[in-house]
Structure 1
Amino acid sequence: MALRSTVYKAELHVADNDRAYYGSHAVTVARHPSETDERLMVRLLAYALWVEADERLVFTRGLSDTDEPDLWNLDLTGAVRQWIEVGLPDERRVLKACGRADRVTVLAYGRGADVWWSGVRGKLERAANLQVHVLDTEATRALAALAERSMSLSVNVTDRTAWVSCERGDASLDVRCLREAE
């Protein structure tokens, strides 16, 4: 018998001073059986960091479908405006995404993030529409501790630092930019 995904519901209150974006979003996220709380919460953070007023940024099937990113923003014709990967994706996957989307964003996290970046950096040089950001390992662990099946999160972003708070506590995450899109 196959394990089923677990549904999480989150109310995100975003105050992003860096982008002058302020809004509230009710989102439902399916957590794949092999996914950790840390990865789930980093996906929610990615949503908060890149959601726009048009609210076309959506969670995809993610781990359940290898042809889709963790999040994407499609225009009305179905063309991919933004492709967002969470974790340490293979460089071939990133380059393929760069060919399909207007913008590609990787939000790397985990103990091996710096090693991953040093290994793929040269291979991704030609991808003009790629931006890469990294999160500190201890900060993402603190973020994971905030996970609940039903949660209300306040995400405040200033100077590339995201402060996430809820009834269970808070976490501060520096969103360090490794590569900006051209």
Structure 2
Amino acid sequence: MPVIFPLLVTSMALTATILKAKVSIVDLDNHVYLNDIPLTLAQHPSETDNRLMLRLLAWMLNVDAEARLSFTKGLGEDEEPDIWFKSDIGVIEHWIDLGQPSEKRLKKASNQAQKATIYTYGDRSAAIWFKKLKYSADNLSIQFINDETADQMAQLYSRNMELQLMIQDGDIQVLSGDMSIAIKPEVWC
């Protein structure tokens, strides 16, 4: 008599794509000078290249001279922002998120952190989202990155990146190889 084996069906979970970046920063406005900081980024399966590059840009724009900002689990974790700086005693000093978070999430960010920064993007959807917002706080900053900038940043996407950020007199440039991108976030609040 033949032996019949049950059909074994397994579902494979999608895994994150791991990217490496080497980042150098010359921020003359804030006196931040970092050279060849190695970063490892995990790109969630549902995260677009544009969003990942904007997350990296947000890190570069907010990092301090000691490079103390950390990427979190991001899209995989509802309780944490995309990027944060936590003190040695666990106080969230800076909460950084991307996208168009709910008012509940904005309130959570501004209540739990000393400073909260949101980088919103999407030329049409971001403006509609912002007009509907009723929540504001003294420690909350919302900055808009336009689609052209997001698309240019996505062109720098690579599994192994080398990027330089330069800031002087409010002018921001991201450089990689022979490509240079002028960055002009609009401060909405």
Partner of 2:162: 152
Partner of 2:19: 8
Work out the CA distance in 2 between the residues paired with 1:70 and 1:157.
23
Work out the CA distance in 1 between the residues paired with 2:109 and 2:85.
13
Work out the CA distance in 1 between the residues paired with 2:171 and 2:184.
4
1:4-83 paired onto structure 2 within 5 Å: 4-24=15-35, 25-83=37-95
Q: 2:126 aligns with which of 103, 108, 113?
A: 113
CA change 1:176–1:158 in 2 (3 A) is: farther
Q: Which secondary structure does the structure 1 equivalent of 2:14 belong to?
A: coil
Work out the CA distance in 2 between the residues paired with 1:69 and 1:29.
15
Q: 2:187 aligns with which of 168, 177, 181?
A: 177
The normalised TM-score by structure 1 is 0.92
CA change 1:21–1:68 in 2 (3 A) is: same
1:159-174 paired onto structure 2 within 5 Å: 159-167=169-177, 169-174=179-184
Identity across matched positions, percent:
36
| CA apart distance, 1:155 | 0.9
Q: Which secondary structure does the structure 2 equivalent of 1:38 belong to?
A: helix
| CA apart distance, 1:156 | 1.1
Work out the CA distance in 2 between the residues paired with 1:98 and 1:133.
15
Post-superposition Cα deviations, 1:100-122, rounded to whole Å, max 9, x if no partner, equal 111100011112222211111xx
Partner of 2:5: none
CA change 1:18–1:124 in 2 (3 A) is: farther
Work out the CA distance in 2 between the residues paired with 1:90 and 1:168.
39
| CA apart distance, 1:86 | 1.1
CA change 1:160–1:132 in 2 (3 A) is: farther
CA change 1:89–1:168 in 2 (3 A) is: farther
Q: Is the 8 A contact 1:146 1:170 kept in 2?
A: no
Work out the CA distance in 2 between the residues paired with 1:172 and 1:147.
16
Give the alignment's Cα RMSD to 1 decimal.
Answer: 1.3
Q: Where does structure 2 lack aligned partners over 5 or more consecutive residues?
A: 1-11
Runs of 4+ in 1 over 4 A off after TM superposition: none
Q: Where does structure 1 lack aligned partners over 5 or more consecutive residues?
A: none
Q: Is the 8 A contact 1:69 1:85 kept in 2?
A: yes
What is the number of residues matched between the two proteins? 176
Work out the CA distance in 1 between the residues paired with 2:26 and 2:87.
24
Work out the CA distance in 1 between the residues paired with 2:180 and 2:48.
18
The residue type paired with residue 119 of structure 1 is: K
Q: 1:135 aligns with which of 138, 141, 145?
A: 145
Q: Which secondary structure does the structure 1 equivalent of 2:42 belong to?
A: strand
